[in-house]
């Protein structure tokens, strides 16, 4: 029984909203709504006002009702200040959309770059480890860097040394390696277990 009543009210609410909307920016007289939908219409209107779906304003001596969109449109036509604010808001929305597009472009470029050179991330991480933990003379065992990077990037030890070898070979002027240690890069048939930035 209660459910039926609620359902009935919802149907009526939709109809009232439809009626208000149909009259566009002219709006509809409140009294006319009462005439059309009866005494229950007042409760429905209160509900819609609370949900900010409709707005009530005075035009001449009578009270009129508008939907939210039409009310804004009407106000912007009547009030130049509101029109200006609305224009600015539109511009802001456009600007935001442009920024979002740019961000997507940048992200795409980064993705492409990463696709082209997957070592970019590795180099950053590698350099960070090297700077953070080296001794006063700058040398650091590869094993320590390997532990950190394998943990953070979830890569295997073999993969780490493949990337490290490529990195050191590609940027020979930036890194120095030294023989010794239990693990490292193989060069000249020797394990080079130490590295530093030059």
The residues of the shown chain that bind another protein, judged by CB under 8 A, are: 115-117, 135-139, 141, 172-173, 176-181, 187-188, 192-194, 196, 198
User: Closer to another protein at the Cβ: 63 or 139?
Assistant: 139
User: Closer to another protein at the Cβ: 40 or 187?
Assistant: 187
User: Closer to another protein at the Cβ: 3 or 198?
Assistant: 198
Q: Which two tokens stand for residue 80?
A: 């130049």
Query: Cα(104)–Cα(97) distance, rounded to whole angstroms?
Result: 11
Query: Cα(6)–Cα(143) distance, rounded to whole angstroms?
Result: 71
**Cβ 177 to another protein, closest distance in Å?**
7
**Cβ 144 to another protein, closest distance in Å?**
10
**Cβ 169 to another protein, closest distance in Å?**
8
**Cβ 166 to another protein, closest distance in Å?**
12
User: Closer to another protein at the Cβ: 57 or 180?
Assistant: 180
**Cβ 137 to another protein, closest distance in Å?**
5
Distance (Å) of CA 97 to CA 84, 106, 151: 20, 14, 38
**Cβ 73 to another protein, closest distance in Å?**
47
User: Closer to another protein at the Cβ: 102 or 172?
Assistant: 172
User: Closer to another protein at the Cβ: 97 or 117?
Assistant: 117
């Amino acid at each position: 029984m209660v459910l039926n009543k609620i359902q009935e009210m919802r149907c009526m609410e939709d109809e009232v909203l439809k009626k208000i909307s149909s009259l566009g920016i002219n709006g509809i007289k409140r009294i006319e709504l009462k005439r059309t939908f009866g005494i229950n219409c007042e409760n429905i209107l209160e509900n819609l006002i609370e949900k900010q779906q409709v707005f009530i304003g005075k035009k001449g001596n009578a009270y009129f009702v508008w939907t939210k969109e039409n009310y804004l449109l009407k106000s912007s036509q009547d009030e130049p200040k509101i029109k200006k604010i609305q224009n600015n808001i539109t511009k802001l929305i456009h600007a935001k959309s442009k920024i979002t597009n740019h961000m997507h472009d940048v992200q795409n470029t980064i993705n492409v770059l990463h696709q082209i050179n997957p070592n970019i991330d590795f180099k950053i991480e590698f350099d960070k480890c090297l700077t953070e933990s080296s001794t006063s003379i700058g040398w650091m065992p590869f094993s320590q860097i390997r532990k950190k990077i394998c943990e953070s990037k979830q890569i295997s030890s073999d993969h780490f040394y493949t990337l490290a070898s490529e990195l050191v070979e590609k940027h020979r002027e930036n890194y120095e390696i030294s023989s010794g240690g239990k693990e490292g890069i193989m060069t000249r048939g020797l394990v080079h277990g130490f590295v530093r930035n030059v």
